[in-house]
């Protein structure tokens, strides 16, 4: 079994970004790397062989969902999430914190929770209102306290509880190579006072997560998570506190507004230990990935490629296209000229338009293959640009929306 390690191979001159290699018990991750999301031990619409064929290096499972279905004990008996889903490469699991947040603090907020449907929670909080009441996170589905969070399953309404200790125990059962400390993910709309309160709670939970992990390391590597919202002083304080703990690497939590994400990531990565890897949670737009890499992030996960694919939205170098638009019904060109994915080599836009209009399952598979290949290949190109000292030129070409292949 290989010991976890991180080696920096090349840095971007004058920037925080770098290319490197993370070594895990199930193989290497060449960074920067896009992490493919397999929420319920499956990358939706794809077999593990198809996931591997697009160049995916690592798959991330979701602790909240796997805890509810099929149960961490079942995954453990199968030999861990990798064996359970027939994926032989490196694996990650998140802590479940974001899903719990989406059931509580973000209940009813557009673009945050796919579980929440009400626009007003039991405290009368609305998405437009202030986060003045520290108990605003009371909702029909979740309640946070200093020790952990009590929540109701979105599946059947049954009540459950996560604490830092139980989150680590569940992730140990799931058996991923890289796991994350339990944290409280806040909304970017939250008040400064609440962001500070949640950050301090995250720090306390990080210590407890680390202590629980050390009882049974299980060959896994634990990453701590930096929070603090969009506030520079809080982000820097969180980076100092979490960066000073004995984690194998670090996750950078959300709560960014898109227009200040790069800056906020820079605040954090200027402080976090250089020699340890940094994972940016839940970021997937092309422009965001460029900024994240330049500011020193090594890995990132996002459901966007496969979620967009299932809705008929396809990524190209010129931007996104909706395959349901009428113009594609008789367009017999590939999704993307010169794309190396299986879909573009074998099928046309017209065929995909037919599949989606006919609601055929194959449409989601072929679209997901293309989108995942696009994201993974894009990040691989950034890695090669860093290794050959061409990152600045690469970035400029992409942002100018010209020929994006160097």
Catalytic residues: 94, 301
List the Cα angle 324/284/376 in 5-degree steps: 85
DSSP calls for 224-277: EEE--TT-HHHHHHHHHHHHTS--SEEEE-----GGGHHHHHHHHHTTS-TTS-
Poorest-pLDDT segment among 15-29, 101-115, 184-198: 101-115
**Could you give the CA distance from residue 12 to residue 18 in angstroms, rounded to a whole number?**
6
Q: Which two tokens stand for residue 29?
A: 């991750």
pLDDT 10s digits, 34-45: 999 999 999 999
- Span between the terminal Cα atoms of the chain, in Å: 37
Which residue has 């496969």 as its token pair? 306
Which one is the CATH code of 5-300: 3.20.20.105, 3.40.50.360, 3.40.640.10, 3.30.70.20?
A: 3.20.20.105
For residue 375, the tally of other CB atoms under 10 A from its CB is 25
- Residue 385's pLDDT is 98
Ranges of each domain in the chain: 5-300, 309-399
Please give the pLDDT value at position 2. 54
Q: pLDDT of 107-150, one tens digit each?
A: 444 444 333 333 223 223 233 333 333 343 344 578 889 999 99
Q: Residue 257 — pLDDT band, cuts 50, 70, 90? A: low
User: Model pTM?
Assistant: 0.90
**pLDDT at residue 114, as a whole number:** 39
Mean pLDDT for all residues in the chain = 89
Q: What percent of the chain has pLDDT over 70?
A: 87
Q: What does the alpha-carbon distance between residue 341 and residue 347 come to, in Å, rounded to a whole number?
A: 10
């Amino acid at each position: 079994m290989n010991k976890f390690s991180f080696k920096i191979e090349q840095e971007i001159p004058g920037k925080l970004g770098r290319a490197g290699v993370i070594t895990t018990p199930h193989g290497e991750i060449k960074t920067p790397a896009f992490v493919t999301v397999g929420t319920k031990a499956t990358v939706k619409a794809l077999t593990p062989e198809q996931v591997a064929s697009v160049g995916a290096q690592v798959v991330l499972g979701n602790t909240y969902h796997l805890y509810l279905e099929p149960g961490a004990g079942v995954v453990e008996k199968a030999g861990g999430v990798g064996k359970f889903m027939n994926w032989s490469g490196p694996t990650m699991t998140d802590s479940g914190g974001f899903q719990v947040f989406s059931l509580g603090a973000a209940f009813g907020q557009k673009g945050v929770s796919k579980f929440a449907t009400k626009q007003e929670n039991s405290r009368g909080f609305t998405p437009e209102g202030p986060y003045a009441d520290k108990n605003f996170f009371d909702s029909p589905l979740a309640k946070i306290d200093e020790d952990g969070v009590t929540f109701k399953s979105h599946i059947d309404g049954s009540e459950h509880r996560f604490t830092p200790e139980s989150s680590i125990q569940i992730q140990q059962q799931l058996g991923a190579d890289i796991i994350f400390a339990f944290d409280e993910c806040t909304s970017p709309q939250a008040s400064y006072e609440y962001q500070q309160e949640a950050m301090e709670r995250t720090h306390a939970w990080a210590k407890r997560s680390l202590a629980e992990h050390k009882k049974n390391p299980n060959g896994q590597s634990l990453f701590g998570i930096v929070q603090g919202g969009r506030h520079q002083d809080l982000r820097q304080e969180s980076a100092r506190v979490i960066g000073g703990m004995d984690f194998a690497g670090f996750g950078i939590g959300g709560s960014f507004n898109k227009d200040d994400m790069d800056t906020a990531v820079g605040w954090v990565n200027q402080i976090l230990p250089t020699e340890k890897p940094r994972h940016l949670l839940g970021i997937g737009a092309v422009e965001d990935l460029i900024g994240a890499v330049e500011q020193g992030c090594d890995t990132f996960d996002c459901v966007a490629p496969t979620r967009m694919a299932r809705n008929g939205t396809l990524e190209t170098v010129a931007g996104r296209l909706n395959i349901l638009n009428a113009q594609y019904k008789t367009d017999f060109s590939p999704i993307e000229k010169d794309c190396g994915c299986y879909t573009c080599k074998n099928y046309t836009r017209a065929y995909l338009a037919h599949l989606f209009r006919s609601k055929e399952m194959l449409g989601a598979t072929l679209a997901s293959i293309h989108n995942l290949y696009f994201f993974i290949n894009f990040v691989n190109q950034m890695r090669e640009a860093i290794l050959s000292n061409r990152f600045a030129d690469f970035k400029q070409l992409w942002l100018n929306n010209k020929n994006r292949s160097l």
